[in-house]
Structure 1
Amino acid sequence: MCKVIAIVNQKGGVAKTTTTVNLGIGLVREGKKVLLIDADSQGSLSSSLGVAEPDELDVTLSTIMCKMINDEDYGKREGIIVHEEGVSFLPCNIELSGLEVTLVNTMRREYILKEYITSVRNLYDYILIDCNSSLGMVTMNALTAADSVIIPIEAAYLSIKGLQQLITTLGRTKKYLNPNLGIEGIVFTKMVGRTNYAKEIKSMVEEIYGKNVRVFGAVIPHSVRAAETSAEGVSIFKHDPRGKVAAAYKKLAKEVLADE
C-alpha cells in the first residue's frame, strides 16, 4: 500500500527540499517505487533534480491541478519525469502561485491534490510532497492528501517557536479536513552537533514533544557538500556517497521503512 508523506514546515531554510529529494532517493535505493511532488512555486525540488528552467516546462503540478478543477482528462504519468537515480517526480514552477488564487473559488478546494494522488497512488510505494514555506491553499491541499507529515527543523529558537504553530495547524487539519493525518516525525536538519546550544534545543524538543511525536534518530548534519547537490541535480548519495549526510539520510529512510 502506498504511503503519502508531506514534508512541511512554514519556516523557510530548514532543508525541506533537500530532505524530500534525499529521503525519496534513499527509499528508491531500498527498492521502493517513489514519486516526489514539487508543491512549491519556486520549483526548488525540480531544480534540485536537474530541471534547468522549471518555468519553461509544458506540464507541471499546476497543469494537472487545473485539469482536475476543470474536469479534464489527464494521463496518470502525464508530466512525470524519471530522474537518473530512479525516483519519479512531478515538477512545479511559478504558475502554481496563480493557482492559489484559483483554488479560493473552487469547490472542494482543499481536496484537488488528494483526488490526483488517489488516481496515481497504486503506481508507487511512497509519494512525498515538498511543501512551500507557507500554509496557503496548495499546502493545505498537501496536508489533506497526506497520510502523515515529516517536519524538518533546525536546532534554533525560531524553529521551535514555529513548530508549535505548525502542530496546531496540523491538529486543525486533522479535525476538519483529514481525520487520518498523522505526524511521521520530526527530523533535525543542518545540525551543528558540537555546540551546546544545538544540543539544548534538541533536548528541549524531545522533552516537550517526544512523548507524543517521534523525533527521528537520524540527525542531518550541516554540510557544504549537501548544499552542492542542488547545483549538480543529483542526490547526496551520488554527490558524496561516503559522507556523513548520505549516512544520515540512509538512516532516515530506514526509520521511515520501519513503519511498514
Structure 2
Amino acid sequence: MCRIITVANQKGGVTKTTICQHLSCILAEQGRRVLCVDFDPQTNLSATLLPDGQAPTLDVSGVIAKLLDDQDLPAPSTYIQRCGKVDLIPGSKSLAKLETSLLTEMGTERFLQEILSPLRPHYDYIIIDTNRAASPLMTNALTAADSVLIPICPEFYSTEGLSDLIASVLKNRRRLNPAIQFEGIVFSRCNLRTNLYRTTRTNVEAAFQDEIRVFRTAIPETVKVGDAISRGLTVMEYAPDSKASIAYRAFAKELISYVESTPAQRSTLHVLPGGGVCRAG
C-alpha cells in the first residue's frame, strides 16, 4: 500500500529538501518504489535529483495549469522523470505564479491529490517536498497526503513553530482531508552534545507526548552533507561512514518500521479559537 508523506515545516532552514532527497534514495536503495514531488517554487529538490542537462518536458506547475484550464490530466510519462532509482515530478518556479489562481479558483485544494491518486498503485512511497509558507501550495500538499513528516532544528522557538504547523494540519483534517495523520517529528542539524539539543528535544517530547511520534534518530549537523549535495551526491555516497550517513540510514529504518508495521499516529490534538493547539478532553 502506497504511503504519501508530505515533508513540511513553516520555518525555513530545517533541511526539508535534504531529508526528502536522502530518505527517498534510501527507500529506493532498499527496494521500495519511490516517487518524489517537488512542490516548492525554489525547486531545490529538482536541481538535486535531475541529472545535469536533463530538462523536463512538463513539470508539476504545467500539470496544474492544465487542471486550472479544465483539461484532462496528461499521461504520467510526460511529467515523471527517472532520476537513478527514484522517480520525480519536477518543480518549477512558475508554481509561485499559480498561487493566486489556486487561491481564487473553486476546488483547487485537491489538484495535487488528483495528480497523485492514479499513481498510488505504482509506488510504495510518494514523498512531497514543500515550501515553508502557509499557502495554497501547502494546502494542496496536506490534502494529498496520508501523513506529515515534520523536520525541526534544535532552537528555543521550535515548539512555537511546530504549533503553527500542527494547527494547519488539524484544520486541513477537519475541512479537507480527514485521513491525514502525523508521521512524526525528526530532529535535524543537531549537535547532539549540546544542552540546547537536549533541552529542545525534552520540550518537544513533553509538548506532544503520546500525540505525535518523535523519532529516536536525530540527524547531526555536518559539512559533509553540503559537500555531498554540491557534488550531486547523497551523503551516503559521498561519505558512507560519516555520522550523517549512519543517522540517515537509521532514521529511514525507523520510519520504514513505523510505516510498514504500525499505522501513523491518530493525534487527538485540536485547534483552539485563535489558532492554539490543545489535547482533547
Under a length normalisation based on structure 2, what TM-score does the superposition of the two structures give? 0.88
Match of 1:102 in 2: 101
Pairwise CA distance, 1:53: 7.7
Which aligned pairs between 1:112-123 and structure 2 lie closer than 5 A? 112-123=111-122
Say yes or no: does 1:62 pair with 2:42. Answer: no
Match of 1:14 in 2: 14
Say yes or no: does 1:23 pair with 2:18. Answer: no
Q: CA RMSD in A?
A: 1.5
For the 8 Å contact 1:11–1:159, the answer to whether it is kept is no
Under a length normalisation based on structure 1, what TM-score does the superposition of the two structures give? 0.95
- Determine helix, strand or coil for the equivalent of 1:28: helix
Identity of aligned residues (%): 34
Aligned residues: 258
Pairwise CA distance, 1:167: 0.8
Which aligned pairs between 1:34-45 and structure 2 lie closer than 5 A? 34-45=34-45
Match of 1:243 in 2: 242
For 1:66 and 1:249, locate their aligned partners in 2 and report how far apart those are by CA, in whole Å: 36
Pairwise CA distance, 1:175: 0.6
Pairwise CA distance, 1:173: 0.7
For the 8 Å contact 2:56–2:81, the answer to whether it is kept is no
Pairwise CA distance, 1:228: 2.0
For the 8 Å contact 1:190–1:223, the answer to whether it is kept is yes
For the 8 Å contact 1:35–1:87, the answer to whether it is kept is yes
Q: Which runs of 5+ in 1 are unaligned?
A: none
For the 8 Å contact 2:57–2:78, the answer to whether it is kept is no
What code does the residue aligned with 1:49 have? L
Q: Deviations over 1:33-78 (max 9, x none)?
A: 0000000001010112245589x64411101111223223411232
Per mean C-alpha deviation after superposition, the further-off stretch among 71-80 and 27-36 is 71-80
Larger Rg: 2
What code does the residue aligned with 1:11 have? K
- Determine helix, strand or coil for the equivalent of 2:76: coil
Pairwise CA distance, 1:208: 1.3
For 2:229 and 2:53, locate their aligned partners in 1 and report how far apart those are by CA, in whole Å: 13
Which segments of structure 1 move beyond 6 Å, counting only runs of 4 or more? none
